[in-house]
Amino acid sequence: MNSAITTYHESPGQSFLAGESTVVSAGTPPSEAGRTLLARLRAGDEGAFGELVDKHHGALIRMALSHVADREVAEEVVQDTWIAVIEGLSRFEGRSSLRTWIFGILIHKAKDRGVREKRHRTFSAFDSHEDDHDEALDPSRFHQSGEWAGHWAFPPQPWDDQTPEKLLASQQAVAAMQRAIDALPVTLKEVLILRDVDGLESQEVCELLKITETNLYVRLHRARERVRRAVEVYLEGMVPEAV
Partner 1 sequence: MAHDAFERTAPDITCREVVDRTSAYLDEHVGDPIKVRLTMHLSSCIGCGTYVKQIASIRNLLGLLPGAVEEPARRDRLCRIFSARQQRLSSAT
Q: Indicate the residue among 161 and 241 with the shorter CB distance to partner 1.
A: 161
Cβ burial of 129 (10 Å; 0-12, 13-18, 19+) is exposed
Per the CB < 8 A criterion, the answer to whether 119 and 37 are in contact is no
The least distance separating partner 1 from the CB of residue 159, rounded to whole angstroms, comes to 6
Contact between 4 and partner 1 (CB under 8 A)? Answer: no
Only one of the segments 9-17, 110-118, 126-134, 191-199 lies at the binding site for partner 1 (rule: CB under 8 A); that segment is 191-199
Could you say which of 11, 21, 163, 170 contacts partner 1 (CB under 8 A)? 163
Q: Does 22 bind partner 1 (CB under 8 A)?
A: no
Total residues at interface with partner 1 (CB under 8 A)? 58
The amino acid at 230: A
Round to whole Å and give the CA distance between 241 and 219: 34
- How far is 109 from 87, CA to CA, in rounded Å? 15
Closer residue to partner 1 in complex, CB, 68/177:
177
49 near partner 1, judged by CB under 8 A: yes
219-238 residues in contact with partner 1 (CB under 8 A) are: 220-221, 224-225, 227-228, 231-232
User: Cβ(141)–Cβ(230) under 8 Å?
Assistant: no
Which of residues 20, 32, 54, 72 is near partner 1 by CB under 8 A? Answer: 54
Following DSSP, what letter does each residue of 163-197 receive, concatenated?
A: HHHHHHH-HHHHHHHHHHHHTS-HHHHHHHIIIII
Hey, what's the torsion of the CAs at 95, 103, 167, 154, to 10 degrees? 90
Cβ atoms of 14 and 207 closer than 8 Å: no
Q: Which is nearer to partner 1, 3 or 31 (CB)?
A: 3
The residues that touch partner 1, with contacts defined as CB under 8 A, are 44, 46, 49-50, 53-54, 57-59, 61-62, 75, 79, 82-83, 86-87, 89-90, 136-137, 139, 142, 149-152, 155-159, 163-164, 167-168, 174, 177-178, 181, 192, 196-199, 202, 212-214, 217, 220-221, 224-225, 227-228, 231-232
